[in-house]
Amino acid sequence: MDLQPDSSADCEALENYLAFLKLTEADSARLHELRPLFRSSANLFADTFYAHLLSFEETARFLQDPQTVKQLKELQKLHWESLLEANWDKEFIERRKSVGRTHAERGIEPLFFLGSHFQFIEHLLHQFEAGNFEQDDFSEHFLSVVKAMFLDIGLTLESYFAQLSTDLRRALSMVWKANDELKQFARLTSHDLKTPLGTVANLCEEALDEFGDQMPDEAVELISKARQTAFGMSGLINELLSVSIETQVDDANDDVSIDEVISEVLDRISQAISDKHIEVDITSPLPVVLGNKVQLREAFYNLISNAEKYIDKVPGQIRIFSESDESYFIITITDNGPGIPTEELEQIFTAFRRLQMHQGHEGSGLGLYFAKSLIEHQGGKIWVESELGIGSSFHVQLRRSL
């Protein structure tokens, strides 16, 4: 229900609340009688409440400035004064709506708002126990306070959630817009990348055609390899774009041989593996899983090329093996690199997260983030175990082929 100020919907909503909560004139009268009790101890209440808030890290960060705390204490007193005033009018509604909106905008969760209601009840009970209330029977008054609080909480939370859903809609439309722009950017970039790659491949071909017979065999071989690599990269760009841009939810249900995936990944980094004298030990056969081959290959490429990149020992070792249960396979990639501190084991899967000790290596901090989202897109899971100085094991759980 979206309450508009001064709208008839407000009046109707208020009437509904009053009827459901059985808030009557008699309640208003009882709340009025409580005003002196609150007024005489309002400062104590505000001080106690803010001392409570300052004891929590989440709320204390909003309350660093003493001037702000002073103003908030005054607002807090006014809030409860107006509850005991018991004027259930448009101004009352608008105040509650404004509290809800402000809390949603500033990211203050309902928990903290409910906390102040609890403190208010506790405060009133203490005042009553201390004998500061003239009448013997407090229960009727207490019930009236609870009803008024429900009204207060209901109206505030309604506008809190209305504001959240407006913000969410706005954020979603920004995400879609950014997504469209990103797709457009990817298309243009791929075009810009593919054109010079094609030129490189053609120039290699021309060089071979025109001067091939004058070149030593080794030069011919190197240029042929360069030509092949340029063609390969152009194909790779096409493939990556087709999966990253046009990804559908149901495109991850093919039978994919992990043996093939790993062998293609190793081809891509064979030079680096041999330059660093890394031994790669694969326990074959690796399984056939349900997924999308290009996406799985990108995910495993990120994991295996990280292992290669971060290995700091000679000889380096990468082991790849799998285990299974009824529904899943778990493929593990173990390296004897530097390892990852325990407190970073989850963090490294978030975007742009890089370990301090690896700032000197090339990298963007996006590889594991992409690997995780690609694996999850296949209905899988990824996690890492590691021991500092010994190495890391990245585990990828994937669905069994049917």
Q: Which residues bind ligand ADP (CB under 6 A)?
A: 302, 306-307, 310, 335, 337-338, 340, 348, 353-355, 358, 363-369, 392
Instruction: Write down the residue that tokens 């609150």 correspond to.
Output: 38
- The CB-of-283 to ligand ADP minimum distance in angstroms stands at 19
Residue 165 or 347: the one with the smaller Cβ distance to ligand ADP is: 347
Pairing mode, if any, of strands 254-257 and 288-291? antiparallel
Residue 100 or 339: the one with the smaller Cβ distance to ligand ADP is: 339
Residue 100 or 380: the one with the smaller Cβ distance to ligand ADP is: 380
For 51, 66, 102, the CA distances from 63, given in Å and listed in that order, are 10, 7, 15
- The CB-of-301 to ligand ADP minimum distance in angstroms stands at 10
Residue 100 or 316: the one with the smaller Cβ distance to ligand ADP is: 316
Residue 127 or 305: the one with the smaller Cβ distance to ligand ADP is: 305
- The CB-of-355 to ligand ADP minimum distance in angstroms stands at 3
- The CB-of-380 to ligand ADP minimum distance in angstroms stands at 17
Cβ-contact 340, 348 below 8 angstroms: yes
- The CB-of-369 to ligand ADP minimum distance in angstroms stands at 6
- The CB-of-274 to ligand ADP minimum distance in angstroms stands at 19
Distance CA 132, CA 325 (A): 68
Stretch (H or E) spanning 316: strand 316-324
Residue 226 or 355: the one with the smaller Cβ distance to ligand ADP is: 355
Pairing mode, if any, of strands 328-335 and 391-399? antiparallel
Residue 138 or 310: the one with the smaller Cβ distance to ligand ADP is: 310
In degrees, to the nearest 5, what angle opens at C-alpha 390 toward C-alphas 385 and 392?
Answer: 30
12 conformational bin, left if phi > 0, alpha if psi -120 to 50, beta if neither? alpha
Identify the three-state secondary structure at position 5.
Answer: coil
- The CB-of-3 to ligand ADP minimum distance in angstroms stands at 46
Residue 169 or 361: the one with the smaller Cβ distance to ligand ADP is: 361
Amino acid at site 82: S
- The CB-of-328 to ligand ADP minimum distance in angstroms stands at 22
Task: Please name the residues in contact with 277: beta carbons below 8 A apart, sequence gap of 6 or more.
Answer: 314, 315, 316
Cβ-contact 370, 298 below 8 angstroms: yes
**Helix, strand, coil % over all residues of the chain, rounded to 5:** 65, 10, 25
Instruction: Write down the residue that tokens 């056969």 correspond to.
Output: 285
